[in-house]
């Protein structure tokens, strides 16, 4: 923990040790949301093909919502006495996942890759929700509300990848490239 991350106060009723861990969980979600809203804009700009306008326009409300999540997470860190790290270098240094790997590509390829992106983000949110059960129910409530929205957006993405039998084109894919190829 850096000198800058020492908590000199926190919200009443929370121990400093618990608050420090909650701040770490919030920072990890802040990194995830900052990464996700930038990645979604990158997709918004790089999709091509006959379904361009539908997917291009579907993405922007997701960008706006995820930017709002980042703001709420960062302000919760400050509320708990911490210092939110919002610069790009700090995000890249701290993240445990790879950069989004698809450039200009068809709408289906990007949606296939986004299925994997959302799978990763939502899985980590749910891990955070479990851990917060013992730490801070107020922060847990924020994670739960954000997860509900992310799961809805994930369904918007998946509805483009689903056949009438209910199977996803990305089934079994474990990389963005593989998911994009299966969906494309
Ligand atoms: Fe735009």
Q: Could you tell me the residue ranges of all domains in the chain?
A: 14-183
pLDDT at residue 4, as a whole number: 58
Task: Kindly give the distance from the C-alpha atom of residue 43 to the centroid of ligand 1, in angstroms, as a whole number.
Answer: 10
Task: Kindly give the distance from the C-alpha atom of residue 45 to the centroid of ligand 1, in angstroms, as a whole number.
Answer: 7
Q: Identify whether the C-beta of residue 183 lies closer than 8 Å to the C-beta of residue 111.
A: yes
Question: What does the pLDDT look like over 65-110, one tens digit per residue?
Answer: 999 999 999 999 999 999 999 999 999 999 999 999 999 999 999 9
Task: Kindly give the distance from the C-alpha atom of residue 64 to the centroid of ligand 1, in angstroms, as a whole number.
Answer: 11
Task: Kindly give the distance from the C-alpha atom of residue 42 to the centroid of ligand 1, in angstroms, as a whole number.
Answer: 10
Gap between the Cα atoms of 184 and 170, Å rounded:
10
CA 174 to chain centre: 17
**Domain topology for 14-183:** Ferritin (1.20.1260)
pLDDT band for 3, please (50, 70, 90 cuts): very low
Task: Kindly give the distance from the C-alpha atom of residue 165 to the centroid of ligand 1, in angstroms, as a whole number.
Answer: 34
pLDDT at residue 157, as a whole number: 98
Gap between the Cα atoms of 125 and 146, Å rounded:
9
pLDDT at residue 96, as a whole number: 92
Task: Kindly give the distance from the C-alpha atom of residue 21 to the centroid of ligand 1, in angstroms, as a whole number.
Answer: 37
Residue 53 has pLDDT above 90, yes or no: yes
pTM of the model: 0.95
Q: Identify whether the C-beta of residue 44 lies closer than 8 Å to the C-beta of residue 60.
A: yes
Task: Kindly give the distance from the C-alpha atom of residue 91 to the centroid of ligand 1, in angstroms, as a whole number.
Answer: 24
The closest alpha carbon to 5, from 32, 26, 36, belongs to: 26
Gap between the Cα atoms of 48 and 108, Å rounded:
9
Gap between the Cα atoms of 125 and 15, Å rounded:
23
Residue 32: its H or E element? helix 16-46
Task: Kindly give the distance from the C-alpha atom of residue 138 to the centroid of ligand 1, in angstroms, as a whole number.
Answer: 34
Round the CA-based radius of gyration of the chain to a whole number and report it.
18
Task: Kindly give the distance from the C-alpha atom of residue 12 to the centroid of ligand 1, in angstroms, as a whole number.
Answer: 42
Question: What does the pLDDT look like over 144-163, one tens digit per residue?
Answer: 999 999 999 999 999 999 99
Task: Kindly give the distance from the C-alpha atom of residue 19 to the centroid of ligand 1, in angstroms, as a whole number.
Answer: 38
Residue 142 has pLDDT above 70, yes or no: yes
Question: Beta partners for 48?
Answer: 106
pLDDT at residue 1, as a whole number: 44
What percentage of residues in the chain have a pLDDT greater than 70? 97
- pLDDT averaged over the chain? 96
pLDDT band for 6, please (50, 70, 90 cuts): confident
Q: Can you tell me the mean pLDDT for 28-32?
A: 98
Task: Kindly give the distance from the C-alpha atom of residue 65 to the centroid of ligand 1, in angstroms, as a whole number.
Answer: 15
The closest alpha carbon to 4, from 22, 26, 20, 15, belongs to: 20
């Amino acid at each position: 923990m850096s000198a800058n991350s020492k908590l000199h106060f926190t919200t009443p009723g929370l121990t400093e040790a618990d608050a420090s861990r909650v701040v770490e969980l919030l920072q990890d979600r802040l990194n995830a949301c900052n990464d996700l809203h930038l990645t979604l804009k990158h997709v918004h700009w790089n999709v091509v093909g006959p379904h361009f306008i539908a997917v291009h326009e579907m993405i922007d409300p997701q960008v706006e919502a995820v930017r709002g999540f980042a703001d709420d997470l960062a302000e919760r860190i400050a509320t708990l006495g911490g210092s939110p790290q919002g610069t790009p270098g700090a995000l890249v240094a701290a993240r445990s996942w790879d950069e989004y790997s698809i450039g200009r590509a068809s709408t289906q390829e990007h949606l296939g890759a986004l299925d994997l992106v959302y799978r990763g983000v939502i899985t980590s949110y749910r891990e955070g929700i479990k851990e917060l059960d013992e730490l801070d129910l107020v922060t847990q409530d924020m994670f739960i509300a954000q997860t509900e929205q992310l799961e809805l957006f994930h369904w918007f993405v998946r509805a483009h990848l689903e056949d009438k039998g209910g199977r996803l084109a990305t089934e079994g894919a474990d990389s963005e490239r593989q998911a994009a190829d299966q969906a494309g």
